Structure 1
Amino acid sequence: MHKAMQGYIRAIDRMNHVIGRIAMYLIFVLMGVLLWSSVSKTFLTPSIWTLETAQFVMVAYYVLGGPYSIQLGSNVRMDLFYGDWSPRTKAWVDGFTVFFLLFYLVVLFMGAVSSTAYSLGYFGMEPFAFFGDLFMTLITQGFAAANEKLGFLEKSPTAWQPQLWPIKVVLCLGVFLMILQCVAEFFRDLERLRGSEA
């Protein structure tokens, strides 16, 4: 079990490190979109796509970079007491409080999956079954058959009206990666309590 935990920690850390390092460059994409928005509003006809694109890029930046932030320990904490504790005490407290974060993230993930299914035209109560069926259809029958299973695609109610499923998929991916990283942090705390570093 000890080796399996260390392997899990290394694999998740490596994956979230790569994704987080890529996601951090989205800030430049965001700056480019906002710069174009300012230029187009000042000198040209204002672009209707810039505000929502900036929001979508910010969501991707935030949720895909979140697991990397947890990995680095740069997430926000109340350091009033925590900063003075020993590493062992921190591991005990982190190992306990991570369950509250995991509960929140699992509820958020379930809501994100349900919202993503809704954005693809599924209005039932079993979004995971919908995605399982969609995935199996895609694998066995191809893209055209899977496309027939989709309903009315949800669009933003703005003038630009982009489809919302891509950013909702990014949200699901980001929250899922955050759950994986929180489990890795829990295992890391267990390793610290055992007296070894992962």
Structure 2
Amino acid sequence: MWRWIAFYVRLTDRISDYVGYLAASLIFFMGATLLFDAVTRNLIRMPVHWAVELTQFTLAAYYFMGGPITLKNDEHVRMDLWYGNLSVRGKAKVDIFTVWCLIFYLGVLLAGSISSLAYAIATDERRFSIWNPSVIPIKSLMVACIVLMLLQAVALFFKHVATLRGEDLR
């Protein structure tokens, strides 16, 4: 059984790494889009109305895609008033409790995002702007990334249990 769990943890970590590195590369795309907007608006005097909105969509994708790798690398925000003074096993016990709170939160978030995506598909929801883009792609990405964050949270649970048992799943 531990072999399958170790495989699951490694696979989830690898997917989170890949998605996270892909998210990091979106910064360059956002910069290029905003530079293109600045050049067309100020030098050519022919503004493109879609550039800022595309950058907003890309920024949302950046946040969604960065979530799983943030969980994997344990780089999320934590109140360190007393947690930092705990032993490794003590931290693992606290993390086992808090990861279930995270899983509950992500489950509620997933239910809401699926509902929002279903509404967007049913109504062909679009942004009210000159460009008028569909929101279905970004909402689909949101659902996919929340699922990946849930998978990563379960992998974190297994890692914390392994820490309590004195094992390493990496």
Equivalent residue letter for 1:181: Q
Equivalent residue letter for 2:101: F
Residue equivalent to 2:96: 95
List runs of 5+ in structure 2 lacking aligned partners.
none
Equivalent residue letter for 2:158: F
SS in 2 for 1:112: helix
Moved over 6 A (4+): none
Task: State whether structure 2 residue 165 is matched by structure 1 residue 189.
Answer: no
Identity %: 40
**Which residue of 139, 146, 153 maps to 2:124?**
153
Q: Kindly state the Cα deviation for residue 83 of structure 1 after the two structures are TM-superposed.
A: 2.1
Q: For the residues of structure 2 that align with 1:65 and 1:36, how far apart are their CA atoms?
A: 25
Residue equivalent to 1:62: 63
SS in 2 for 1:110: helix
List runs of 5+ in structure 1 lacking aligned partners.
122-151
Residue equivalent to 2:75: 74
SS in 2 for 1:25: helix
Q: Kindly state the Cα deviation for residue 35 of structure 1 after the two structures are TM-superposed.
A: 1.6
SS in 2 for 1:57: helix
Q: For the residues of structure 2 that align with 1:81 and 1:49, how far apart are their CA atoms?
A: 48
Normalised by the size of structure 1, how large is the TM-score? 0.81
State the superposition RMSD in angstroms.
Answer: 1.3
Residue equivalent to 2:119: 118
Count residues in correspondence.
Answer: 168
Equivalent residue letter for 2:2: H
Q: Kindly state the Cα deviation for residue 189 of structure 1 after the two structures are TM-superposed.
A: 0.2
- 1:1-198 to structure 2, matched below 5 A, reads 1-43=1-43, 44-121=45-122, 152-198=123-169
